[in-house]
Amino acid sequence: MVTRTGEPFLLRDRGLLESALAKPQNEFFYRHVEDVGSLATTLLFGIARNHPLAQGNKRTGFLSAVDFLEINGYRLDVSDEKFLLGRLVVEVLEHKLDEERFADILQSMMRDI
């Protein structure tokens, strides 16, 4: 991503990044959340909200969620709604949409690999 955008990469706080990366595991083990879409959503917003990077936190969170889905056997089919998820990420961060609704929308776009 850094190569594509030309933006400098700067990790502001390693602890914040590690905290965000641990959120899906915590949800799985302590809250018994097994829905992969919900766990991917937790990862996305963990990175976006913790803001561990100087730039690109929303994009990094989104791409991390996509990778998380792929590791767990899913891909996103966004052919009909190319920019919808990007807008919805911003809406969640602006408290206009809750994470559960975002996870539902994400789930509707998930396909088995």
Residue found under tokens 């911003």: 90
Domain-wise residue ranges, the chain: 11-112
Q: Tens place of pLDDT for every residue, the chain, 113 residues?
A: 556 777 778 999 999 999 999 999 999 999 999 999 999 999 999 999 999 999 999 999 999 999 999 999 999 998 777 688 889 999 999 999 999 999 999 999 999 99
Strands 74-76 and 110-112: antiparallel
pTM across the whole model: 0.91
Q: What is the pLDDT of residue 1?
A: 58
The full 3-state SS of 27-47, as one line of letters, equals HHHHCCCCCHHHHHHHHHHHH
Q: What is the pLDDT of residue 79?
A: 79
CATH topology of domain 11-112: Four Helix Bundle (Hemerythrin (Met), subunit A) (1.20.120)
Q: In degrees to the nearest 10, what's the CA dihedral of 95, 77, 18, 16? A: -30
Q: What is the pLDDT of residue 40?
A: 98
Q: What is the pLDDT of residue 83?
A: 84
